[in-house]
Amino acid sequence: MSMLAVIGYAAQFAATGLSLSPLTIIGLVPVFAAGLAFMRYMAVDPEGHPVNTRYIRPEYDFIVVGGGSAGAVVASRLSEVGNWSVLLIEAGGDENEISDIPSLSGYMQMSQFDWMYQTTPPTDSPYCLAMVGDRCNWPRGKVLGGSSVLNAMIYIRGNRRDYDLWEMQGNTGWSYEDVLPYFLKSEDNRNPYLTRTPYHSTGGYLTVQESPWRTPLSIAFLQAGKELGYQVRDLNGEIQTGFMLSQGTLRRGSRCSTAKAFLRPVRSRSNLHIAMYSQVTKVMIHPTTKRAYGVKMVREGSPPQMVRARREVILSAGAIGSPHILMLSGVGPKEHLESFGIPVLSDLKVGHNLQDHIGLGGLTFIVDDPITFTKKRYQTMQVAMEYILKEKGPMTSLGGVEGLAFVNTKYAPKSGLWPDIQFHFAPSSVNSDAEQVKKITGLRDSVFNTVYKPLKDAETWTILPLLLRPRSKGWIKLRSKDPKVYPDIIPNYFTHKQDIMTLTEGIRIALNVSDTTAFQRFGSRPHKMPFPGCRQYAFDTDEYWECSIRHFTFTIYHPTSTCKMGPPTDMDAVVDPRLRVYGIGNLRVVDASIMPNIISGNTNAPTIMIGEKASDMIKEDWGIQVR
């Protein structure tokens, strides 16, 4: 290939608008790296990329708002019905070659692919104290594929008891036995030892597999689990408790977002239009009939326009976006909407019941051997070429998360089958890519300089201990009736003391992992430098860990439950078990916001499942027979 051709590819790379040069990201000669990366990116999926529709018709059968983990699925599945017209509206644009690289998932945050939400500073129970302004960053995908373009690609379904609990609460059809077929429908698992079991399948749109590369510490993590009495098993199988190497939405060494999985293969369908860079500001609802008949939207700076829906409007804008749009449209808590002068069409607890998985960030362990994942070690020409030419190597790492575990604290159900803590194991820590981690977490300079800067050249690894079923719940609330003004995000972390107590026990199990023979052969030991606000407490006391948790409060970006699903008898429910909004016709919500309770695990795969199941329910409700 000539240098002129390479420069041409580099120019196309630059035109994507991502404000990260190849030199910054992978430490290579920028033009050469950009050219090779662009060539590989364009070759990964021969069906090509979705087209941004130029002309939007005045009316469609279905309008899907949000092209993320659920919306991409719904648009793809509804457009299977040839005589239905479907418009998918996405506020962001398409993916690019950098988002395709698994190890660079952290670089997608705080980019143009990210809504860049932040939590509202707490007024009562403190949290996020180590962050600038006491505000935690909440990345959410503003791109076709949504947060499946920003996340670490981890494929975890949750515990069967989560879904059985949903059904026990009156959500008929949402038991584990009911939802498992929809997980299987999506999946194309590339690990043969898993596809031989009844819990996995092949042939679906969504590719799932292990990364082809890992550090020696990943095996130590599994061995440590065995030493602690846990089995190494498929955590998406019959029993969730245990340890395993991470499975992720990975295809040929690259990210498999829902846009790549569900939209690229159907891009040629004439009945599916995709409007990118288009933001819905309101669902149009008839004030007398209380039926949704379309949406108001703004596209790429043009004047607002209305598009009509003959059959339904489907909100798939996520646990922040969907309640925000509903409230702006007159669906939400009566007193709250009236305080902004918004006419109330259905008085529902929209924005309530906010739940999130939360843990202690930056829990760091030091080892002696040069075997950890550091920016300096793996941002080299050799590593980049291995990825670009062979689809292998360190750049295929699932956001740096090599291992997963579900463990039981003393507060977990005695059966041992419904663990209350999840571990994300990474052979790196804050110091391994200090500049970017500091940026995406929003860590204060004083915290970073005191705790992590001394580890600049150290070999480190981490476990993120995650609280699976928090008792503390928060809210999404309007700050203005102007759609451009972000809502208040009030997660209300740690208002229940039990959440702190459970997390503290999870941290101590993580310390036990470091103490195993498997890790001691590398000289593993915890980094004991306290946060500046926690110096008065002795290491490993309850007070020390509570202070640490309230400082480096780390969300793994799993907001759910703000448009709660429930039966008519549930006064907190926003949608019924078929995801129809109470009191409003022809309007559904299909995304993670409908979860009555957050599931025990990563939320991306369950959100895709919700999209699959909802698509069949919509087809059934409009007279289409499904299998």
Catalytic residue list = 558
In angstroms, rounded to a whole number, what is the distance separating the alpha carbons of residues 291 and 285? 5
Q: Decide the pairing of beta strands 278-285 and 254-255.
A: unpaired
Sequential DSSP letters for 80-123 = TSTT--EEEE-SSB---TTTT-GGGGGGGTTSTTB--EEPPPPS
What is the number of helices (H) and of strands (E) in the chain? 19, 26
In angstroms, rounded to a whole number, what is the distance separating the alpha carbons of residues 173 and 182? 12
b/e code 453-462 from CB counts within 10 Å (16+ = b): eebeebbbbb
CA-CA-CA-CA dihedral for 298, 299, 304, 307, to nearest 10: -90
**Region label for 576, one of left (φ > 0), alpha (ψ between -120 and 50) or beta (otherwise):** beta
In angstroms, rounded to a whole number, what is the distance separating the alpha carbons of residues 507 and 532? 20
In angstroms, rounded to a whole number, what is the distance separating the alpha carbons of residues 227 and 173? 40
Q: Is 590 annotated as a binding residue?
A: no
Sequential DSSP letters for 499-561 = HHHHHHHHHHHHHHHHHSHHHHTTT-EE--PPPGGGTTS-TTSHHHHHHHHHHSEEE-S--B-
8 A C-beta contact, residue 178 and residue 166: no
Q: Is 455 helix (H, G, I), strand (E, B) or coil?
A: helix
8 A C-beta contact, residue 136 and residue 118: yes
Instruction: Please state at what angle helix 71-78 crosses helix 604-621, rounded to 10 degrees.
Output: 30
Cα Dmax for the chain? 72
- Closest Cα to residue 51, out of 233, 316, 275? 275
> How many CA atoms lie less than 13 Å away from 585 in the CB half-sphere?
10
Assigned token pair, 136: 């935690």
Assigned token pair, 443: 């860590």
b/e code 122-139 from CB counts within 10 Å (16+ = b): beeebbbbbbeebbbbbb
Dihedral sign, Cα of residue 117, residue 119, residue 121, residue 127: negative
CA-CA-CA-CA dihedral for 627, 163, 468, 353, to nearest 10: 100
Q: Is 280 annotated as a binding residue?
A: yes
| Those residues with Cβ within 8 angstroms of residue 85's Cβ, 6 or more apart along the chain or in another chain | 57, 60, 61, 62, 271, 273
Binding positions: 143, 280
Binding positions for FAD: 143, 280
